[in-house]
A and B are shown apart, each in its own frame.
With several copies, the nearest count.
Chain A
């Protein structure tokens, strides 16, 4: 066990898995000598060489397309998209190709590519360094979508992603890169995909969240506790395919659910969570499933703090659910 930041945990997972599995290669913009704009790949270029830590030209469609081709013939590519906001030029490769290879070839070809992308707000990045695009990928059949919220999970989930037989969109909450610190198990311990983490037990209301808003949920839960409300906080970790039992089990117990994420509300993942919860736990619900989310606007620069869901809005939603 060692204490480290989330970005160090990512870094460690990459290094350890590359050591373990010579098929792993990294590719992306500025990931080599520069070590990545967030330093996630620092030192790996020196350690594994320019052939396995590949600085690419500026073309995300090329990065993902190339990664797919590598994966088709036995490599295990991990592509870095510098910011999740710049993943859209690769959208066709992801939606039309990456997600569909196994299905369209009836399993003859598979593309176990991991796409890492710093996601979410909190660094005053404005429209294009702040977005949370998870819903696009969750809606795309054939992808795994993962977002850690702790260093230990970051390392363990990334290790699992690199070993998974299917593509994984691995979204890293950049606001937590250096602010989330914690104990991380030593080499080799993967955290399985598809399993949520109960962050905090409680019987009155369930808050379902992931990524950077996990700590918002914890803050709101701690405040609510002071007023006698026991909040259960679930960190999904794997967004899709999600841990349905953890969520439904909790809501059956508490009878109230708040879903919480940074991405815009409309057609966000919160909509799916709300839809699923009311489908599967209808008779247990004492209040509508509430959504606390980003606004349905482009991500703003000056008003970032206001845009991001916070403990205030989360507590309001909890209170509303309790008093419904």
Chain B
């Protein structure tokens, strides 16, 4: 018994009035601009890496509707527990592009002192928690933060992002189960981009869907067309509202596709048929949304081009500034391990200053 797939944007570019979230024109334009920005960021990130100017990059190309649709549903006070692919959500939360790009360079333009690989950013002010590589570790943490809010009576929601691969981890299981038991204000957002690096989702799990797993935890599961920004916005907003209203957690599965390789370290042509990728290129979420906007008279071709050009320009400008920043200072290596520096790190600070030979 398959869960229904929620869709708003129809083949002909119109929106299903039943599910249409009814966003105003300005909101629709923002959605489009943010999707374009995210695409522009990916283009630049990949190029910077190829040119050896940054060490690594992970893109979300093809997944912009899932990113921007869900991120746009967040409200003041909500928390985000992202995975490494959710820069789009972070930007919507108010994470400055300059900090995101600074993080890619890991120099002194990186407010986190170059501590982590590219794509492993965070922003306390924006309530965007630090990305870490181990898959899905953020999910039980998201439950804890939601519990804290609930305990204090704050009407906020906490969203945790992960991939289809992440659904196999013990952390996913613990998080979903705890959230079900404690009825925390959580939304678990799975970007099912069909692959965990090379593993297709059909070999990730024998379940009918990722959303079907919600039944194991007594919480609702929702399947949504992840290339449909309005549908994603709609189901995420609904789930967040449920959460804020004290009605408990929701698992959302957004069905989308990773157009690029897993990361700049990966070569997806080794394991994916070109036709499959091509077929999905045809389902580009940005083009799909553009068609809708055009139908609504909110966009035309020159404007569309301009939006992308602006986005690229913004990224270019920011890259120029960040790249020029000096490297992080050597002594910073031993900072922030503890609130106060203990004796052994004081000692080890000397190692960063050691002369060539005494």
20 further A-B pairs in the complex, CB-CB below 8 A; given A297-B337, A301-B117? A57-B165, A57-B174, A57-B199, A59-B177, A67-B144, A73-B145, A86-B134, A96-B132, A108-B124, A127-B116, A141-B337, A241-B344, A244-B344, A295-B333, A298-B337, A302-B114, A303-B114, A306-B330, A306-B352, A319-B358
Query: CB-CB contacts of B187-202 with A at 8 A, as 1s and 0s?
Result: 0000000001111000
Beta-carbon contact of B170 and A295 below 8 Å: no
Q: Enumerate 26 A-B pairs (CB-CB under 8 Å) in ascending A order.
A: A29-B197, A34-B197, A37-B265, A55-B203, A65-B143, A65-B144, A66-B147, A68-B144, A69-B141, A88-B134, A97-B132, A102-B337, A105-B130, A108-B112, A108-B123, A108-B124, A124-B56, A127-B133, A142-B337, A165-B339, A244-B344, A265-B348, A297-B337, A300-B115, A302-B327, A316-B358
Query: CB-CB contacts of A48-69 with B at 8 A, as 1s and 0s?
Result: 0001101111110110111111
Residues of A within 8 A of B352 (CB): 306
Residues of A within 8 A of B137 (CB): 65, 92-93, 96-97
Docked Cα-Cα span, A233 to B67, in Å, equals 53
Beta-carbon contact of B143 and A303 below 8 Å: no
Beta-carbon contact of B344 and A296 below 8 Å: yes
Beta-carbon contact of B129 and A109 below 8 Å: yes
Q: Which of A94-113 contact B (CB under 8 A)?
A: 96-97, 100-110
Docked Cα-Cα span, A319 to B357, in Å, equals 8
Docked Cα-Cα span, A141 to B134, in Å, equals 17
Beta-carbon contact of A103 and B115 below 8 Å: yes
- The residue in A74, A126, A300 that gathers the most chain B C-beta atoms within 10 A of its C-beta is A126
Beta-carbon contact of A69 and B204 below 8 Å: no
- The residue in A108, A129, A301, A320 that gathers the most chain B C-beta atoms within 10 A of its C-beta is A301
Residues of B within 8 A of A298 (CB): 115, 337
Residues of B within 8 A of A29 (CB): 196-197, 199
Query: CB-CB contacts of B79-116 with A at 8 A, as 1s and 0s?
Result: 10100000000000000000000000011001111111
Docked Cα-Cα span, A109 to B121, in Å, equals 12
Residues of B within 8 A of A300 (CB): 114-115, 333
Stretch at the interface among A3-11, A12-20, A307-315: A307-315
Considering the complex of A and B, which 8 residue pairs feature the smallest CB-CB distances, nearest first? A69-B144, A65-B140, A302-B114, A62-B174, A128-B133, A69-B141, A241-B342, A126-B117
Beta-carbon contact of B146 and A69 below 8 Å: yes
Beta-carbon contact of B141 and A106 below 8 Å: no
Specify which of B133, B168, B173, B174 is in contact with A129 (CB 8 Å cutoff): B133
Beta-carbon contact of A57 and B115 below 8 Å: no
A156 within 8 A of B: no
Query: CB-CB contacts of B303-344 with A at 8 A, as 1s and 0s?
Result: 000000000000000000000000110101111111100111
Q: Which residue of B lies closest to A71 (CB)?
A: B144
Interface residue total, chain A, C-beta cutoff 8 A: 82
Docked Cα-Cα span, A165 to B338, in Å, equals 8
Residues of A within 8 A of B38 (CB): none
Residues of A within 8 A of B337 (CB): 102-103, 141-142, 296-298
B175 within 8 A of A: yes
Q: Which residue of A lies closest to B115 (CB)?
A: A104
Q: How far is the CB of A270 from chain B (nearest CB, A)?
A: 14
A33 within 8 A of B: yes
B169 within 8 A of A: yes
Beta-carbon contact of A30 and B198 below 8 Å: yes
A75 within 8 A of B: yes
Residues of A within 8 A of B113 (CB): 106, 302
Interface residue tally on B, bucketed by range: 35 or more
A281 within 8 A of B: no
Q: Which residue of A lies closest to B205 (CB)?
A: A57
Specify which of B55, B116, B135, B348 is in contact with A296 (CB 8 Å cutoff): B348
Docked Cα-Cα span, A319 to B114, in Å, equals 32
Residues of B within 8 A of A62 (CB): 140, 143, 168, 171, 174-175, 177-178
Q: How far is the CB of A324 from chain B (nearest CB, A)?
A: 12
Say yes or no: A69-B148 contact (C-beta < 8 A), given A58-B199, A109-B124, A302-B107. Answer: yes
Specify which of B107, B171, B205, B358 is in contact with A65 (CB 8 Å cutoff): B171
Say yes or no: A72-B144 contact (C-beta < 8 A), given A62-B175, A65-B174. Answer: yes
Residues of B within 8 A of A126 (CB): 115-117, 120, 133
Beta-carbon contact of A129 and B117 below 8 Å: yes
Query: CB-CB contacts of B42-81 with A at 8 A, as 1s and 0s?
Result: 0000000000000110000000000000000000000101
Beta-carbon contact of B177 and A57 below 8 Å: yes
Q: Which residue of A lies closest to B154 (CB)?
A: A73
B181 within 8 A of A: yes
Beta-carbon contact of B141 and A65 below 8 Å: yes
Beta-carbon contact of A33 and B107 below 8 Å: no
- The residue in A65, A108, A144, A165 that gathers the most chain B C-beta atoms within 10 A of its C-beta is A65
Residues of B within 8 A of A97 (CB): 132, 134, 137, 141
B122 within 8 A of A: yes
Q: Which residue of A lies closest to B176 (CB)?
A: A62
Residues of A within 8 A of B343 (CB): 241, 244
Residues of A within 8 A of B107 (CB): 302
Beta-carbon contact of B266 and A37 below 8 Å: yes
Docked Cα-Cα span, A64 to B178, in Å, equals 12
